Structure 1
């Protein structure tokens, strides 16, 4: 029997959490490629003897799950499960678990970092100086902004707390929330009122392109979109058009529909991009990995 750790960023110091499995004679295999695995690579590494999988964001499709004849448990290092074919897992009797609490602080802090970076033109100023242009860029204060948070779960709540500490106004849109300290409005109203729109939703068919041409057109001229959640939530074509036209002042994106991202958004000066690293704080990754290991 064996356990596969397919996530590329697993900290070897956290192997201690797997000592019971190893002492019981279970072989622990690592992702040898140090990058996100393809479907074919996952199939090859799982083989037919793997009983447990500590997974990242690699595609765990029906084909992958059907090929893993002995697989019983998938423990996701992170919150989202959109990379897993949950229907196929259920059909095959594979238990799928995640670590929803651990990433909250890290994702919320990266969200705040991106918001501040947009408002103060940090990435643009950095790029200009590196090519010999020494010029101060005028920005604006977070305190003067209304931040609309779409999705008010663990991360959305943490973002609201951080944003409020700067004196900004916060509104939310989440039909599942019945009581909140912040105004809870329909998505259209949130788009109209927000200076900064921040997404904190799981991805599903229902949330695919929840921010599309219609919603973007409702936003104020000179507003911003921040997505540190899942790529499919935003219509990237509509976003690109709004940024090129100047309707939106900027965007900060940590996730895309296709990753690694090589599209047109990366060529715009008004766009800040990071490589799906919302949870990439060492303390957070350690906690996530230890939780995932314990779930096995």
Structure 2
């Protein structure tokens, strides 16, 4: 009886803690959403007021109609193109690298992997100058390639996919080789379908990381029309950052949040599936 009571108390305590955490995370997003529908007079009122006195669409109309100083629609499309392409390339590179480290036998395999893993522990900021010099030498500055290519071989994602692959029986590979399958055929026809959940999770991480990246795009993209939406927010802060235009700034911020929020909403089940290393073995 005491154990049951203790379990119930722990369960309710967990619910309360998670609810408070969710509220802390949601309140700024809700405030940004409601502020984007406020008039200038509502924004200028003193004190905290969550809901607007009257809901208006003027802020969104002004933001979306600006095609010169702050072309947010162009930035949005740039972000979609860059994040999608970056994610597709990441899945290909990461899955191939993880397959090599997890399923192939070659000399110094583990040494190479853990060396790369150790190097990746250095802060990303130390690579900014070398990365910029490489991008500049390749002539990619102010082009989507400058944002798409760097980071597609994310070591963290390689580690995650490799760990997932090591949970799959090697008997699959051996049976396929006895039937004459090559390593690439085993990777494409057998391994990739089995690791679909973890590839989806890494895709989500890659897409959101690319979409939300702020520092690197502001360094390599100087043309206003080539900016991503997150890098463009810095420019929007200069244009709409005064108190009179806070509604337009919040409307822009909320538009930038929509894709990643929807992505997590519809793909959250894959996070749970990826936690089971044997999820690909379901019959």
Query: Which bin holds the TM-score, normalised by the shorter protein?
Result: under 0.3
Structure with greater contact order relative to length (CA < 8 Å, sep ≥ 6)? 2
TM-score (norm 1): 0.25
Greater strand proportion: 1
Which structure is larger by alpha-carbon Rg, 1 or 2?
A: 2
TM-score (norm 2): 0.26
Greater helix proportion: 2
